[in-house]
Structure 1
Amino acid sequence: MYKILGKTLAVAVLSMLASLLISFAFVPLMGGKVAGAGLVMTIVCPIVISIPASLVHFYRGEKLRSTNAALAAAKDELSAAYARLQHQAQRDALTGLLNRATFLAELEGRSDAGMHGGLLFLDIDHFKSVNDRFGHAVGDEALARVGAVFSELALEDDLVGRLGGEEFAIFLNAASPERMLDHSQIVREAVEAIDLTAPSGQRIPLGISIGAFHCAPRFNPAEALAASDRNLYRAKSAGRNMVVA
């Protein structure tokens, strides 16, 4: 408000000075004299007229700026909220990894773009027994810890998703068969090294079976997933906690 009053007084002073300048410049040319009531009117009129007009003008201008600022802030908040919702819609709530629908859509996008790489289908070994023996809270912690390992080991362009339950998938973007196998073993060992303990203090060993399949450019996502799933089944049948490609 003080800012508005300051601007209003400045306009009033400028208006008065302009009025005096005009009067003293032109009135004598017309044979008149700026004095007495004429001088008072020259001073008072611009002040009386400019003050209310300026107050209204500056008040509305300030209100409009405040409204525009509030709208801009609301727009930014809405954009941020939309981004958060979009992120949440694409992510698994427990692990923060891509959910099944998003992972499959991204995998199809990589295929359409002509990318190649390694596709891993991963399943936590004996996960049901973890839930049955130690409770679902411990099972959820196991899922979250395993998901964190996958995220930490992945490169920026890799895809990491939770397909459901204790099943996960990783697409190693542009990876060679050698990198695919090396990464699979690193992941398996990292999961095995997770220090998960029950409320009683008992350590809960974790293992993971991995089916790996190398995808050529323009691969068929459904066929690639089916192939890696078959390799996962072979890994489980052969004793679990191993990689089959």
Structure 2
Amino acid sequence: MQIKAGSWTHKLSSMSVFRQVTLMICVAVAGADLLTAFFYWYFEFDRLPLDIVLTTIIVLIVGYPLGFFFIGQNVKLREMALELDRLSKIDDLTGLFNRRTFFAEARRLVAEQVAARDQGAILFIDVDHFKAVNDDFGHATGDAVLKELGAIIRTVVGEAGIAARLGGEEFAVLLHGAEGRRAAEIAERVRRGVANCGRVIPGLERTTVTVSIGIASIRAGYDFEDALLRADHSLYAAKESGRDRVVREDERVAPA
């Protein structure tokens, strides 16, 4: 029977600190008692029960504080490592994926969707006249707009895809199993949500914040970068046609 390397250490590290310390103490007590029993079997028997009790008490007194300290430190380090790994993947302002993580995940998911011939779509989102928001109301208000947009995207997209802030006021969403019409419905919900965000951001009550959204489908034989480029072209068409709108790639007007 072959035991997978590291399986017992994984099981041990998944236990609570109390259980890990208790297991360590039990092993220490058993080892100390066995050694005590061996020496008294070899030399004499009259004080064996008393010394086993004393040995157990000593191990408990010394072992529990040491166990909680060392294993507790190990758990804290593991939690810190997990948190640092999470933070390295997340945009700290919006809570969405950052650009690097989104590109890595999107490449993998698009390749899987293409191989399985599943439908999917890319949404490219840009806040209209965002520089004016920063200039007129300050960067703190601009950050509040981006944060609210991130919350809207998370709520609307949910489990239907993954989303990221690519940088500045640009966002992207990869939708699973969404053909053009379904992707447009999701994009429209994001657009309408942003149009109402001034109500919840102090100072923007009389200002309408809008976004332009471009959509491209995921096609067989093409990769993520191609889909993102086509979504970017759709976004450009939305900007050119007046902003505050959703444009699918099949709705773009071909150049004359």
Length-normalised TM-score, structure 1: 0.74
| Counterpart secondary structure, 2:135 | helix
TM-score normalised by L of structure 2: 0.71
Which structure 2 residue ranges, 5 or more long, are not aligned?
Answer: 1-32, 38-44, 249-256
Deviates most, 211-220 or 199-208: 199-208
**Matches for 1:13-92 after TM superposition, within 5 Å:** 46-47=46-47, 51=50, 54-92=53-91
Mapped contact 2:133–2:142 kept (Cα < 8 A): yes
Aligned to 2:217: 214
For residues 180-228 of structure 1, what are the alpha-carbon distances to aligned partners after superposition, in whole Å with 9 as ceiling and x for unaligned? 1111111111111113477657522110000100113564111111110
**CA distance in 2 between partners of 1:174 and 1:198 (Å):** 34
Letter of the 1:132 counterpart: D
Q: Is the CA contact 2:99–2:165 (under 8 Å) kept in the aligned structure 1?
A: yes
Q: Who is 2:145 aligned against?
A: 142
Task: Report the 3-state secondary structure (helix = DSSP H, G, I; strand = E; otherwise coil) of the residue aligned with 2:122.
Answer: strand
Task: Name the residue aligned to 1:95.
Answer: 94
Distance 2:159 2:204 in 1: 36
Tell me which residue corresponds to 1:26: none
Equivalent residue, structure 1, for 2:27:
none
CA RMSD of aligned residues (A): 2.7
Q: Which amino acid aligns with 1:46?
A: D
* Aligned with 1:168 (options 141, 166, 171): 171
CA contact 1:146–1:191 (8 Å) conserved in 2: yes
Shift in alpha-carbon separation, 1:79–1:198, aligned structure 2, 3 A: closer
1:107 matched to 2:106: yes
1:125: which partner in 2? 128
Whole-Å separation in 2 of the counterparts to 1:100 and 1:156:
19
| CA deviation after TM superposition for structure 1 residue 140, in Å | 0.5
Q: Provide, for residues 34-92 of structure 1, a one-character-per-residue CA deviation record: whole Å limited to 9, x for no partner.
A: xxxxxxxxxxx935x65456424531355335434444333332222211111110000
Distance 1:150 1:197, change over 3 A: closer
Tell me if 1:153 matches 2:152. Answer: no
1:213–1:200 CA distance, 2 compared to 1 (3 A) = closer
CA contact 2:113–2:120 (8 Å) conserved in 1: no
* Residue in structure 2 matched with residue 21 of structure 1 by the alignment: none
> What corresponds to 1:28 in structure 2?
none
> For residues 201 and 224 of structure 1, do their structure 2 counterparts lie closer, same or farther at Cα, with a shift above 3 Å needed?
closer
Q: Distance in 1 between matches of 2:187 and 2:52?
A: 76
1:178 paired residue among 178, 181, 186: 181
| Structure (1 or 2) with the larger CA radius of gyration | 1
Q: Are the aligned partners of 1:112 and 1:218 in contact in 2 as well (CA < 8 Å)? A: no
Higher mean C-alpha displacement, 63-72 vs 126-135: 63-72
Q: C-alpha separation between the residues in 1 aligned to 2:85 and 2:213?
A: 30
Displacement of 1:155:
2.6
Secondary structure class of the residue paired with 1:118: strand
Q: Shift in Å at residue 148 of structure 1?
A: 0.5
Mark the CA change 1:198 to 1:184 in structure 2 (over 3 Å): closer, same or farther.
closer
Taking structure 1 as reference, are residues 217 and 76 closer, same or farther at Cα in structure 2, changes over 3 Å only? farther
What's 1:229 paired with? Answer: 232
Comparing 73-82 with 208-217, greater Cα deviation is found at 73-82
CA distance in 1 between counterparts of 2:72 and 2:89 reads 26
State the percentage of identical aligned residues: 32
Q: Which runs of 5+ in 1 are unaligned?
A: 1-10, 16-44
Q: Using the alignment, how far apart are the partners of 1:59 and 1:223 within structure 2?
A: 68
| Secondary structure, aligned partner of 2:124 | strand
